[in-house]
Amino acid sequence: MKLVLPLFPLLFVTLACAQLAPERLAPVPPMGWNSWNHFAERVNDRVIREAADAMVASGMRDAGYVYVNIDDTWEGQRGADGIIHPNAKFPDMNALADYVHSKGLKLGIYSSPGPKTCAGYEGSYGHEEQDARTYAGWGIDYLKYDWCSADDLHLDMPSTYKKMHEALLKTGRPIVYSLCQYGEHQVWRWGASAGGNLWRTSGDISDKYDRMALIGFGQHGLARFAGPGHWNDPDMLEVGNGGMNENEYRTHMSLWALLAAPLLAGNDLSKMTPQTLAILTNREVIAVDQDRLGRQGERVWEEGPLEVWMKPLADGGKAVGLFNRGEAAETLSVQLHDLGLGEAAAVRDLWEHKDLGTVKSAFAARVPVHGVVMIRVK
C-alpha cells in the first residue's frame, strides 16, 4: 500500500500530459470550419450555432469535420481585472461552447500575440496566461494566434509563440494551437518546437484560382517539416465561396489533401450546393489527407503547366494528383517508376469513385483546364 499511494498523482500527471502531447492533439491534420473566409467581421453567436447545425445536418461532421472556429472580431474589452470579454456579438461564450459540444463538435477561437488583432480588436499581449485560462474556462478547444500588430513590438517570433503555448499547457485543457504568421522566418523549421500543431506557410488565400494555385503548388519542399502533431498550413479552404469553378475547387481540395493540410472549410455551410458538399465530403479524398502515416505529398514530375504530386500512404499505396494548370485540356501520363512503384499497379479514381483496373508501366488521363485527376495506386 505504502508503495502504491505515491504513484496515483504521478499516474494522473502522466495521463494529463499524454492528452496534451501534440501527437494526441493533432495526430492527423485538423478538420473543421472557420468563419473568416465567408463571414469575416459578420461572424456572431448565431452564425457559429448555424455552422455547427449545418455541419451535423450536412454530414460534414460524420465525414470528419470537428472544429467550429470563431476567427477575428469576437473580442470586446478587458475588465479592470484584465479579463477579456467578448463583444455584443457573443453574449455567452460558455453557452456557445456547450451548444457546439452538444453536437459532438469542438469550438475554436482567435487572438494575437500583439496588443491588437489583424482587424484591430483586443489582442493577448501581456495577458497570455490570463487569456489562456479564460479560453479554457469557456471550453475552447483550438486557438489561432495571429501575428499582425506584434510586428510593431519587434518581438522574437519563436519565443513569443512559445509563451502562449506554455500558457495553454498550464490550463491543462487540450487546445490545438495554430500559428498564423503567414509563413515568415521559415516557420516550418521552428513551429513545432514553439508548440504549434499547425502553422501557416503563406499569406492569406483568396477565392480565386490563381491565388489558391500559387499557394498550393508553392508548397513543394516543405514536406519534411510536417508529421503527426505538427502540420504545414497553406490556409483555409475557399471551396463553395463562388469564385472558382468545380474543376478548380476539386483541384483545391485534392491538392490540400495531398499536402496533408488542415481542412478548414470557409464557406457558408447553411447554404451549400450539392456540388460543394460533394467536394467537401469526398471521403476518399479526405482519407488521403487524414492518412495515419502523416506524410505530406510533393511534386514528383512537372512539364510546363502540368504537374504530378504524390503522397505515400500507410497501406503502402500512393495517392497521386495529375494537375493541369494550363488553359487547355491536356493528356497527362505518369510513369509508375516515378511513383516508386513496380511494373504494374491497381488504380482507383477518387473523384469518379471507380476502380480503373491494373495498369502497366504508366497511367494516362485527360485532365481539364485548371483541373485534376486524383487516383490511389497500389
Binding site for ligand GLA (CB under 6 A): 36, 71-72, 117-119, 146, 180, 204
Q: Please identify, using beta-carbon distances, which residue of 118 and 373 lies nearer to ligand GLA.
A: 118
Residue 46 CB, nearest approach to ligand GLA (Å): 20
Q: Please identify, using beta-carbon distances, which residue of 199 and 217 lies nearer to ligand GLA.
A: 199
Query: Measuring CA to CA, which residue among 83, 200, 90 is closest to residue 148?
Result: 200
Phi and psi torsions of 304, nearest 5° = 55, -125
Residue 86 CB, nearest approach to ligand GLA (Å): 16
Residue 72 CB, nearest approach to ligand GLA (Å): 4
Residue 249 CB, nearest approach to ligand GLA (Å): 19
Query: Measuring CA to CA, which residue among 205, 207, 213, 260 is closest to residue 369?
Result: 213
Q: Please identify, using beta-carbon distances, which residue of 68 and 373 lies nearer to ligand GLA.
A: 68
Amino acid in the structure at residue 98: D
Residues labelled as active-site residues:
146, 204
Phi and psi torsions of 300, nearest 5° = -110, -10
Q: Please identify, using beta-carbon distances, which residue of 266 and 321 lies nearer to ligand GLA.
A: 266
Phi and psi torsions of 229, nearest 5° = 100, -20
Cα 182 to Cα 118: distance, rounded to the nearest angstrom: 12
Query: Measuring CA to CA, which residue among 358, 357, 360, 356 is closest to residue 373?
Result: 356
Query: Measuring CA to CA, which residue among 210, 140, 148 is closest to residue 181?
Result: 148
Sheet holding 263-265, edge to edge: 231-233, 198-200, 176-180, 142-146, 106-111, 67-69, 31-34, 263-265
Q: Please identify, using beta-carbon distances, which residue of 62 and 184 lies nearer to ligand GLA.
A: 184
Residue 115 CB, nearest approach to ligand GLA (Å): 14
What is the number of other CB atoms lying within 10 angstroms of the CB of residue 18? 10
Place of cell 471507380: 354
